[in-house]
Every structure is written in C-alpha cells, then in structure tokens.
Amino acid sequence: MCYDGSGEHPVAPEAVSPAPSRRVFGRLLLAGSGLAALSACSPEAARPTSSAAASPSATSTFTATPSVTASATPSAEPLPGSPAAAASETAPPPAPSAAAAPRHSLTDPASPWVVVNKHRPLSPAAYVPADLVQPRVRLATSGEAALLNSTTAAAAEKMFAAASASGVVMTLASGYRSFNTQIGTYNKWVQAEGQAAADTASARPGHSEHQTGWSFDIGDGSGRDSFTPAFANQPAAVWAKANAHVFGFVVRYPWMFHEITGYYYEPWHLRFVGVEAAGEMNTRGIATLEEYFGLEAAPAYR
C-alpha cells in the first residue's frame, strides 16, 4: 500500500533519507490544504523464509517474532490546494454500497477480498503468502519488494503489457512487505517522530496490505513525483485510474477518503480484488473497499 522509503527503490526521492522528504511534503500539504502525502507501507528487505501467528502489540515499538483494455484517458487528478481540488472537497462522496454478498473471505489474508486497515489487522499477524513470485514486468525495486502473490502477479503482467501497448511506461515500485520488515520501519518512525506520527505515516506491523501480496505501488520509471499526490498527473497514474479495474485492480487509497481508509491519497497504490469487484466499484462509483463491503470506517487505530 504505499512507499516505505527503504532506499531500495532506485528512483524514488526518498532513496537517501526516507522520512524527511515525505514528512516535509506532508507538512506542506497539511498547512495548505489539510492533506498529507503519507503512506501505509514498510520498506523492502530480504525475502522471508517462514511464518508464525504472532500478533503485534499496540505499544510504541515492536519486536521480531519467528517469521513465518479500456482506452479511456481521464482528466488529470486535481492537485491538493488547487481550485479544482477545493471544489472536490466540498462535493459529497458517493453513497456507500449495500454490503456486497461476499463470495470470498474478508478476513482470510489469502483471499482477494481480504480487507486490511487500522481496525482489521492480518491474522496471523506474521502471515506470509504461500505463492510469492516475481512478475514479468518492468521492475524499479528488488528483493522481497519485487514479489507478489501469483494471482496478483498474473493480473499485473496483463495490465503492464496493456499500458505499454498504449505507450505508457509503468514500473513495479514496491510489492510484498514482510512482517519483520514492517517492524523495523515502524520502530524507526516511532523513534524519530513518536508513536502518533508513526501511526499516521507507517502501518503498524501486521496492518499493511503489502504483506498479503495483493497490493503494490507503481511508478513510471522517471521518479517524477514518486509517492506524492502529484503522481496522480503522471501518465502511469492517469492510465491506471482509468483502466486498472479492467484487470481487477482498484486505487486503494483515493482522494479525500482518508477518514474511511485511514490513509491519505496514494494514486500509486493498487490493490487486486478481481475483475468483478473492481468493475462493479468502477461502474457504481464506489471508492473504497470499506464502502463496497459495508464495513465501518477505520480512520485510526483503536
């Protein structure tokens, strides 16, 4: 779900110092328009080797446990602080969906419909997908971050190929994040900024979609506006917003829905839910999985 700033990404602006660049940008947005460009991820690390059902605590630090084609081109997303963005802030959100009758589990991390947010941690907390693979797409990362579960990888290969055929460069910027990797990143945030800031900028271990293998972040190979709201205006993000649903993906943290998802706008973070669910959400104008499945909003940890 978001960029972690580990330094493994070769083009991301945070490659030298992860926290300051994103933090400074977020504060500017908060001062100017009330929106922070913060993310819900952990940094890339070595590929995991085992699994366990340990649950993270809600204390300020964590300790490691044994680890277990559409062609539409929409107008660019309005940048925070712009007149168009200000107008969009006053518009009411789409009416929530009646709870979908799930044909897949909303709690099993191996399910394409699992909902992970600040109220719904993974169980087991240290879950590791059994079928992690490296998709045959253009990579802008390495190690565990270049991995997805096999279903997501296959859908991503089709989507990236379609984008390329349309003349759009799309890269896999960050994929799987292990529980142990998340521990390290979250603790660094706590030590540098305090727990309140850490809980805004970095998912607590076991609360990240990236751990499921169903999510990944995209880039365009240039590093321009990477992991900032302005990335919404880059061709890769514009194309994905218009076409990702055709391949079963949604933009998981859309504009101005942070009070529901718990995370600020991330036009780079895609989540696989399957063609049926993604298509219905697109057709009905439903922005979040919480609304689609009739679940409560999760703006903060309980």
Distances (CA, A) of 160 to 33, 118, 219, 252: 33, 30, 11, 18
Query: pLDDT by residue (tens digit) across 66-104?
Result: 333 333 344 455 555 454 554 444 444 444 444 445 689
Lowest mean pLDDT among 112-116, 163-167, 219-223, 285-289: 219-223
pLDDT band at 270 (very low <50, low <70, confident <90, very high): very high
State how far the Cα of 162 lies from the Cα of 151, in Å rounded to an integer.
17
- What pLDDT, on the 0 to 100 scale, is given for residue 70? 37
For residue range 113-129, what is the model confidence (pLDDT) as tens digits? 999 999 999 999 999 99
Least confident range of 26-30, 232-236, 249-253: 26-30
Q: Are 215 and 167 in contact (CB under 8 A)?
A: no
User: Could you tell me the two tokens for 243?
Assistant: 């076409």
Per-residue pLDDT reduced to its tens digit, 182-217: 999 999 999 999 999 999 888 999 999 999 999 999
Average of per-residue pLDDT values in the chain: 78
In the chain, what is the straight-line distance between the N-terminal and C-terminal CA atoms, in Å? 20
CATH number of this structure's domain 13-44+99-292: 3.30.1380.10
Which has the closest alpha carbon to 106: 291, 295, 297, 269? 295
pLDDT, position 108:
97
Higher pLDDT, 169 or 37: 169
Q: What share of the chain has pLDDT > 90, as a percent?
A: 63
Q: What is the pLDDT of residue 58?
A: 38
Q: pLDDT, tens digit, for every residue of 134-180?
A: 999 999 999 999 999 999 999 999 999 999 999 999 999 999 999 99
Instruction: Decide if pLDDT at 220 tops 80.
Output: yes
- Alpha-carbon distance values, 26 to 22, 199, 238 (Å): 6, 14, 22
The single-letter DSSP state of residue 75 is: P
Structure tokens at 224: 């321009």
* 269/53 Cα distance (integer angstroms): 26
Select from 268, 255, 247 the least CA-distant residue to 173. Answer: 268
Report the distance separating Cα 101 and Cα 128, nearest Å.
27
Q: What percent of the chain has pLDDT over 70?
A: 66
Nearest to 269 by CA among 217, 210, 226: 217
Confidence of residue 24 (pLDDT cuts 50, 70, 90): very low
Mean pLDDT of 217-238: 95
Statement: residue 269 has pLDDT above 80: yes
Sign of CA pseudo-dihedral 5, 13, 214, 106: positive
* Closest to 73 in 3D by CA, of 195, 223, 225, 243: 243
Query: Residue 66: its pLDDT value, please?
Result: 31
Q: What is the pLDDT of residue 82?
A: 52
